[in-house]
Amino acid sequence: MSKPVLMTVDDDPGVSRSVARDLRRRYGQDYRVVRAESGADALEALRELVLRGEPVAAILADYRMPGMNGIEFLEQAMDVAPHARRALLTAYADTDAAIQAINVVDVDHYLLKPWDPPEEKLYPVIDALVETWRAIGERSVEEIRVIGHRWSAECFAARDFLARNQVPYRYMSVDDPEGVRLLEAAGASPDDVPVLVTPDGRALTAPTEAEIAAAVGLTTDPATDFYDLIVIGGGPAGLGSAVYGASEGLRTVLVERQATGGQAGQSSRIENYLGFPDGVSGAQLTDRARRQAAKFGAEVLTTREVVALEARGSARVVRFGDGTEIAAHAVVLATGVSYRALEAPGVSDLTGRGVFYGSAATEAPACKGQDVYVVGGANSAGQAAVFFSRHAATVTVLVRGSSLEASMSSYLIKQLDAIDNITVRTGTEVVEAGGDGHLERLVLVDRNSGEQEGVKAASMFIFIGAAPRTEWLDGVVARDERGFVRTGPDLVVGGRRPQGWTLPRDPYHLESSVPGVFVAGDVRAESVKRVASAVGEGAMAVTLVHRYLSEQ
């Protein structure tokens, strides 16, 4: 098989030769470097490479090229070589163009000229590109086909589950000719949807999430019944614990109820996460963390809901909803929080039918030309508003409070102000939702005047509150009045350790009222609700797990 290709495109012959020289010096043994001096020439070369069956690993394109700039070229290159990773070469003055490239053509990186020394500024970027390409490769993408109704809550749940677990799928309506054909082949009717057809031809009628997970190859059953560390929850904190636990030699299993990433995994772009100056989507960050955990040997179980936690001697036992159990020396609780339900007439009936909790990125194409409402004033709501503004005719952000400053990062507030089709309405609540089978209208109330107003609405995305899912821990670990788990110094009151504490020391900083059970991320009482702090707590919890294990 021929060497994979690294392509560089720059209209300046001197720069083009310089980039190619640096690439050959580092990657020439394993990759073939191809250079072009215009976007048109590069597209022709790409087509020839594809026709000859030569894999293209990465493309570096200069932004300022006559006739076709780097963004326009990369947008067309995506159609020719969709698996190739993409980077934009740009001057410092063009960083706005680089940000545009990230948003428009999903560029993986941008490089500032000059890139000397390449060991510091060029090679780390190329290393990341080829590492990602190797993980995905040129293999064909085998799609799951989903047949359903546009306004079916069950169909939305199936598509959302696949999307959040980054499983490629193609959706078709029961009214599409191909959808009709597949329903007939599966022996199903339009009333049986969703129907999923796997690449090997199996048909699943109205499947559960566990059945979907098994069909697409997600791991649902543990490899053994005893581990060093069980991590419950697959958000940033849980993924952080899984990566650090497995990398430090602990037999680690991460248990996730639905999809890794948590609320952060649904964010269209996180722009204040350390080390990603051009931002990173929640899905990208989740995918990298999940692959990283797997690389170190951590198991990831999906669609397994934990319903009980018990201390049996030195073992910590976790019980699943189906009655099965696994045990470990230590446990990290990283279950995060859920959005609170919006209590207003009509909302629950229309959930999944135009009313959604979280960003529900799968709905973006359907929002084209529509009026969209985002309810909430925190960062997740702001990120969703920016994302949907690229699709919808209008996006209205509804905030109960008098301003966004208390709950949203300033960079997001500035972004919202700069986007013409986004409107922020403070002091406003939704008091009713209505429609014939799907959302068509909302009734809003001004909290100051009490005046109500009816508005047309095609979709509403809800981001309110932070409710921990900790009812299953009642009577096991100490929680505060809102259900968040208390840890460390908060458990020691008046010099007295928590009831039932058996060790001759105070609980460690992230340790719960049960020795060996640690807590990280949003579910912990008084935690900082940020992705970076959750990852940090997940890593710190593993350090404390090691300290705890050394005492046993």
Q: For the packed helices 379-389 and 410-418, what is the interaxial angle rounded to 10 degrees?
A: 30
pTM of the full predicted structure?
0.78
Distances (CA, A) of 178 to 158, 195, 265: 19, 13, 32
pLDDT of 1 over the 80 cut: no
The rounded distance, in Å, linking the Cα atoms of 404 and 504 is 46
CA 455 to mean position of chain CA atoms: 31
The rounded distance, in Å, linking the Cα atoms of 422 and 416 is 6
pLDDT of 537 over the 70 cut: yes
pLDDT of 89 over the 90 cut: no
Residue 272 β-bridge partners: none
pLDDT of 462 over the 90 cut: yes
Q: Which of 292-296, 326-330, 357-361, 547-551 has the lowest mean pLDDT?
A: 357-361
Where does the pLDDT of residue 278 fall: very low under 50, low under 70, confident under 90, or very high at 90 and above? low
Q: For the packed helices 70-80 and 39-51, what is the interaxial angle rounded to 10 degrees?
A: 10
List pLDDT tens digits, range 3-29: 899 999 999 888 889 999 999 999 999
Q: Phi-psi region for residue 231, left (φ > 0), alpha (ψ -120 to 50) or beta?
A: beta
Q: Which of 27-31, 131-135, 542-546 has the lowest mean pLDDT?
A: 131-135
List pLDDT tens digits, range 181-236: 999 988 999 999 999 999 888 999 999 999 999 999 999 999 999 999 999 999 99
Backbone angles phi, psi at 424, to 5 degrees: -110, 125
Instruction: Give 547: exposed, middle or buried? Use CB within 10 Å, 0-12, 13-18, 19+.
Output: exposed
The rounded distance, in Å, linking the Cα atoms of 203 and 217 is 15
The pLDDT value recorded for residue 92 is 62
CATH number of 5-136: 3.40.50.2300
34: tokens are: 């191809």
Q: Which is higher by pLDDT, 115 or 313?
A: 313
CB 23 within 8 A of CB 50: no
Residue 270 β-bridge partners: 280
CATH architecture of the domain 144-215 equals 3-Layer(aba) Sandwich (3.40)
List pLDDT tens digits, range 100-113: 556 556 678 878 87
* Strands laid side by side in the 422-426 sheet: 355-357, 459-462, 371-375, 394-399, 422-426
CB 289 within 8 A of CB 243: yes
Percent with pLDDT over 70 in the chain:
96
Alpha-carbon Rg for the chain in angstroms: 25
Q: Which helix (H) or strand (E) holds 432?
A: strand 428-434
Q: For the packed helices 236-247 and 531-551, what is the interaxial angle rounded to 10 degrees?
A: 40
List the chain domain ranges. 5-136, 144-215, 226-338+467-551, 348-462
279: tokens are: 């931002």
Long-range Cβ contacts of 212-220 (<8 Å, 24+ apart): 212/158, 212/161, 212/162, 213/165, 213/302, 213/303, 215/144, 216/144, 216/162, 216/165, 216/167, 218/165, 218/167, 218/302, 218/303, 219/299, 219/300, 219/301, 219/302, 220/301, 220/302, 220/303, 220/304
The mean pLDDT value for 82-111 works out to: 73
The DSSP bridge pattern shows strands 355-357 and 299-301 to be unpaired
| Whether the bond into 117 is cis, omega within 30 of 0 | yes
List pLDDT tens digits, range 317-343: 999 999 999 999 999 999 999 999 999
The rounded distance, in Å, linking the Cα atoms of 155 and 381 is 24
Tell the residue number behind the tokens 């989903």, with chain if given. 146
The pLDDT value recorded for residue 362 is 82
pLDDT of 137 over the 70 cut: no
pLDDT of 437 over the 80 cut: yes
At the topology level, CATH places domain 226-338+467-551 in: FAD/NAD(P)-binding domain (3.50.50)
Fold equal for 226-338+467-551 and 348-462: yes
At the topology level, CATH places domain 348-462 in: FAD/NAD(P)-binding domain (3.50.50)
CB 6 within 8 A of CB 33: yes
48-62, 67-81, 451-465: range with highest mean pLDDT: 451-465
CB 523 within 8 A of CB 533: no
322: tokens are: 């189906």
348: tokens are: 């629950």
Q: Which helix (H) or strand (E) holds 311?
A: strand 306-312
Q: Which of the 8 DSSP states describes residue 259?
A: -
Sign of CA dihedral 257, 263, 264, 268: positive
